Structure 1
Amino acid sequence: MTEWVEMLVTMADGPKQPVQGVVVPYRHSDEPWHFYSASYGEDPVLLHLRPGGVRLYRWGRRSRIESMDGDPIFVSDGDTAWHFTSDPQRPRSTSVRNVQFYGPGRELAITRPVTHWVGDHHARPTGPVTDLDCLGRRCWSVDLAPRESRAMPSPSLRLVVDADTGAVLEQHSGDGVTGAAYTDVTVGSPIDPALFTWNGPVVTDLESRALAGRGDPQWDESMQWFHENITAEPIYVPVLMDFTPPLVDLTDPESGSFSAPLGPNNGFANMRARSSGDPVQQNHGR
């Protein structure tokens, strides 16, 4: 039986081979759709899959979404995103982490950061991973409970993932109301990496704020100077965390079973005896 952690590792960084095909979303409800978003001054980049379907190209964390006529809608190299809805000749450019996706299909179109799947509020499987065939390919399916951090009630999530590449081929809500799936898929055929980039003119976040009348020219000029003279790259600071346990609860000295907190608010390390097979099993959790 496939374990959830194996499925997660396979899909964590996006498809390992080029994947392309037609994706069609659905929504079996006439109830109003509620979507909440926030942005810092600039117009938000809101992305959704068109009801009639789109052509989707995936490779690693890279994405390209086209209309059924072949016009680009969204392009991402995994770090930067270009959104073509407002102006096909001058797309909006922003970090992919700022893209807000509404409606079904996000799991197919954009690979989430690994941090989405770990931590206290990550989505947890509600049952075992099952094997199935999808579009003639060996796949895994799993049902995930709603993330605990969400303020609005939401249904569970079912994902169907290609076992060889890690590509998400289907996404369905647990109540059966919404979802998206490939209607056909091609795996392994070469894709020009240039399809995942844009080298033409763009509208940046700073320009978007100014165009919307919400930007302060003084701050925009200062930020531009900083980008040109100091750095335009993100500034990351590595953080050293102390996982030294302040105490250890030795529950069974003979088998070595114990439970210990990993520093302040960092979770626990546990070791217990196996019920069968090898003598001990380690479990690390938050």
Structure 2
Amino acid sequence: MTHWVEVLLKIVDGPQRPVMGIARAVHADMGPRTVYDAHYGVVPSYVGFGLSEIRLFRFGRKTRMESLDGKPLFIADGQTCWVFQAGHDDPIETNELNTRIPDPGRDLIVSRPVEHWARPGLTRPTRPIEEVEFIGRRCWNVELKTGSKGSPMVLTIDTETGTVLKQECEEGSAEYVDCALSDELPDSTFTWTGSIREPRNVFAEDRAREVERSKSNMQWFHDNVSAQRIQADVLVDFTPTEVRRDPEHPESFEAHFEKGAGRLWRRARSSEDWLLPVNWTGRNYPTPIRAWSTQTFDWACAIDLGPGSLTDATVAQLHHALHPSKDVVGTPPLNP
């Protein structure tokens, strides 16, 4: 019986001999799905299996991916990564932490860090390890638990070198079509000495293109639709969808309307500053508030439709709807 620790010792540092071959992936037809990703600072680079076969070289934590006609797609020397993008001859020079490699096929392209296998409760075999044959080589088949709710992942691992030859997971499968061992791969296979693009410059270039595209689209609209300010009356339903009250101030309330796009406040009339949340929409700029007072109460209203959306005529209609027999006698002191 093969024990998990025996397999781990083979795969933890990547293939123990240089391996090269043709690999391909079959992506599962999962329909539309949302992929969440987050980063801080430099935008990450993305690498993965496309729809075509690729040539894949592995040795330890080193990787080289290239198209069948020899164009490099991804190179890693164990520390530095070079990511090639369509339309650019020079790769982005980065590192593995800033490189996103989705499934299927991640375990064929790079070796996971040691910390991945050390996490308690994860990446453990869910059934006994099997001995099988794949593309003419003796292998282990290992079914792993990948998360508390995730579907199992099956790795087919070459027993001689520790190379992951096939991966099956929820996102699809990736596998070597054929592979060969070699002791003659030069170090240059896993390095790049040509010109590079730095990630921060790539981000600046992408941002500049985005700004230019936005300006171009706005100019097109001005030239072909209208260059004048476009304003029209909009009907807003001020009927509350949620009302919040404070037991210590039974006559006061905060009401939400238009699914949270607007708010209406009331308190007992006071000469003290009224602290209202001017950034309640979650935006980075304040939402204008219109406020007024009757003899009994202070009132305030805001809606996230931009400055000037609450016109004098609209506020007058609110006066009539909220306190038809009470005149407006002043304005409460607001302190944002």
**Bigger Rg, which one:** 2
1:74–1:213 distance in 2 versus 1, CA, 3 Å: same
Residue identity matched to 1:55: R
Secondary structure in 1 matching 2:189: helix
Query: Relative contact order (alpha carbons < 8 A, sep ≥ 6): 1 or 2 greater?
Result: 1
- Between the aligned partners of 1:96 and 1:194, the Cα distance in structure 2 is 19
Secondary structure in 1 matching 2:108: helix
- Alignment counterpart, residue 190 of structure 1, candidates 184, 191, 198: 184
Residue in 1 aligned with 2:123? 123
- Pairs within 5 Å for 1:1-286: 1-148=1-148, 153-173=149-169, 178-213=172-207
Secondary structure in 2 matching 1:211: helix
- Between the aligned partners of 1:28 and 1:38, the Cα distance in structure 2 is 24
- Between the aligned partners of 1:197 and 1:212, the Cα distance in structure 2 is 26
Kept after mapping to 2: 8 A contact 1:4/1:125: yes
- Between the aligned partners of 1:20 and 1:187, the Cα distance in structure 2 is 7
- Between the aligned partners of 1:50 and 1:114, the Cα distance in structure 2 is 27
- Between the aligned partners of 1:147 and 1:116, the Cα distance in structure 2 is 12
Percent identity between the two aligned chains = 35
> So what's the TM-score if we normalise by structure 1?
0.68
Residue identity matched to 2:95: S
Secondary structure in 2 matching 1:117: helix
Deviations 1:250-269 (A, max 9, x none): xxxxxxxxxxxxxxxxxxxx
Kept after mapping to 1: 8 A contact 2:139/2:156: yes
Kept after mapping to 2: 8 A contact 1:63/1:109: yes
Kept after mapping to 1: 8 A contact 2:122/2:145: no
Offset at residue 113 of structure 1 (A): 0.5
1:34–1:169 distance in 2 versus 1, CA, 3 Å: farther
Offset at residue 10 of structure 1 (A): 0.5
Kept after mapping to 2: 8 A contact 1:123/1:144: yes
Secondary structure in 2 matching 1:20: strand
- Between the aligned partners of 1:102 and 1:168, the Cα distance in structure 2 is 16
Kept after mapping to 1: 8 A contact 2:130/2:142: yes
Which ranges in structure 1 are unaligned for 5 or more consecutive residues?
Answer: 215-286
Offset at residue 189 of structure 1 (A): 4.6
Deviations 1:41-98 (A, max 9, x none): 3332011112121110000000000012211000000111000114542111111121
Secondary structure in 1 matching 2:125: coil
> So what's the TM-score if we normalise by structure 2?
0.59
1:32–1:190 distance in 2 versus 1, CA, 3 Å: farther
Secondary structure in 1 matching 2:124: coil
Kept after mapping to 2: 8 A contact 1:55/1:66: yes
Q: Number of paired residues?
A: 208
Deviations 1:18-63 (A, max 9, x none): 0010111002415124433222333320111121211100000000
Residue in 1 aligned with 2:214? none
Kept after mapping to 2: 8 A contact 1:123/1:145: yes
- Between the aligned partners of 1:184 and 1:193, the Cα distance in structure 2 is 22
CA RMSD of aligned residues (A): 1.8
Secondary structure in 2 matching 1:22: strand
- Between the aligned partners of 2:45 and 2:9, the Cα distance in structure 1 is 29
Secondary structure in 1 matching 2:23: strand
Deviations 1:172-209 (A, max 9, x none): 02x5x611000101013521210111111212233233
